[in-house]
Amino acid sequence: MKKETPTSAEARHIALLKDAAWIDRAFAFADGYKQFLDASKTEREATNYARQALEKHGFRAFRFGDALKAGDKIYFENRHKSLVAAVIGTAPVSEGIRLLAAHIDSPRLDLKPNPLYEDNELALLKTHYYGGIKKYQWTTIPLALHGVLMLADGRKVEVSVGEDEADPVFYIDDLLPHLAQDQMKRSPADLIKGEELNVVVGSLPLASDDDSVKQPVKAKVLQLLQEKTGMVERDFLSSELEIVPAFKAKDVGLDRALIGAYGQDDRVCAYPALQALLAQQQPRHTVAVVLTDKEEIGSVGNSGLQSAYFRYFVAEIAETLGSNERTVLLASKCLSADVNAAFDPTFASVSEKMNASYIHRGVVLTKYTGARGKSGASDANAEFVAEVQHALDQADIPWQTGELGRVDLGGGGTVAGYLANLGMEVLDAGVPVLSMHAPYELTSKLDVYASYLAFDRFLKL
Ligand code: MN
Ligand code: MN
């Protein structure tokens, strides 16, 4: 038997937990991450943030047909909800690109196309939940409203209410325990039903002597909306308005080593991936990051990774640099940067301890995802897993492995499969999360930093 060396993956995270300088660097990195979280609660806001950061670092908007050469820093924004950015390498593009793929949409409540009504002198908004949520978790917490309105006169109005200290917030009520006997007999999935996720948006009537106003509280809300945005009721139909938790990102625990925030799946990978790309000066291979939308509902639509937008981008740079899409894609390597479920001591039975990921143990390499007999899995090739493992080991970056829970208990997927379908090598790698998909999720500063280091190292493969 080979003796364990201090650089083995197991020993590395234990050594780093005692390394004050390393912990300091991780904490400093987390400060930037928390700012990103507060500024990026929707896919559109995350795209905006990324574009601004890229432009500050010398990236320019790429138009199909533009000439390209080594060292060029470009980005391609897609529908304001997803974005690909790249630095052109010195090596021929036919040697493939090194890609980090993360998603920037998170579970939330979308407003219905016709959402506003009045019921017993309260004005409420109907919602339709997006992604996998435990519906009861979204009641009785402060909520914010984010999104865009497209008005009849062609104006586009950006909306964000509930984030500023001076802003009001919104609220979904739940029954008091005193009267919840019947509710508590419902199955947990129906404890709060989809049609009960109604958001309180107003309670005062319109100040008017006109008795013909049938729904004065709703009318008052519409008046306030018109004053603030110029919208009328039918403009809801041409809007994308999302209800998200109004919480700010905070340090959690007396030692401040954890981060609590909304939307960390998967912005906890999007941020380190973006930072890793921004740090590349002149890479040998062309490096890229895709921040994509709609992962939480199956990567559908023209902003999700099942659409061709990413492939078109690769085809365009491949042809411009004298190669072609199929050659480049087959030679490319990708980390699908998404979260995994961290071992939870309170709910230990859902994990198989030898193959669970743990808080503070570093970036999680997830060889395959899927459910039951690996159904729907993207299963990374052993050769590629080895290449990534060895690179992380050589750079002393803490990593661990993890499956999403026990066999046959549930499962999940990422964008890995859609990228693997294009012919590239793909491995899932990301940050372990506690309370994934809850309105407030928990991650480790050390794992976020380890993921950044891992992503940076991967782009140099
Ligand atoms: Mn995810
Ligand atoms: Mn998710």
pLDDT for position 51: 98
Ligand lying nearest the CA atom of residue 430? 1
Asked if 22 contacts 16 with a C-beta cutoff of 8 angstroms, the reply is: yes
The rounded average pLDDT for each run of 10 residues, N- to C-terminus, in the chain (461 residues) is: 53 86 97 98 98 98 97 98 98 98 98 98 98 97 98 95 97 97 94 98 90 92 96 96 98 98 98 98 97 97 97 98 98 97 94 93 93 88 97 95 84 90 97 98 98 98 95
Asked if 224 contacts 159 with a C-beta cutoff of 8 angstroms, the reply is: no
Sign of CA dihedral 85, 90, 94, 97: negative
Ligand lying nearest the CA atom of residue 270? 1
Ligand lying nearest the CA atom of residue 103? 1
pLDDT for position 242: 98
Ligand lying nearest the CA atom of residue 338? 1
Neighbours of 336 (CB within 10 A): 30
- Output the CA–CA distances (angstroms, integers) from residue 180 to 285, 296, 454, in the order listed: 60, 32, 49
pLDDT for position 6: 46
pLDDT for position 192: 97
Sign of CA dihedral 280, 283, 285, 286: positive
Ligand lying nearest the CA atom of residue 107? 2
pLDDT for position 369: 86
Residue 138's contacts (CB-CB under 8 Å, 6 or more residues apart) are 109, 129, 172, 192, 197, 439
Q: Cα of 160 to ligand 1 centre, how many Å?
A: 24
pLDDT for position 8: 64
Q: Cα of 371 to ligand 2 centre, how many Å?
A: 15
pLDDT for position 373: 87
Q: Cα of 453 to ligand 2 centre, how many Å?
A: 23
Domains and CATH numbers, the chain: 8-106+262-459 (3.40.630.10), 108-245 (2.30.250.10)
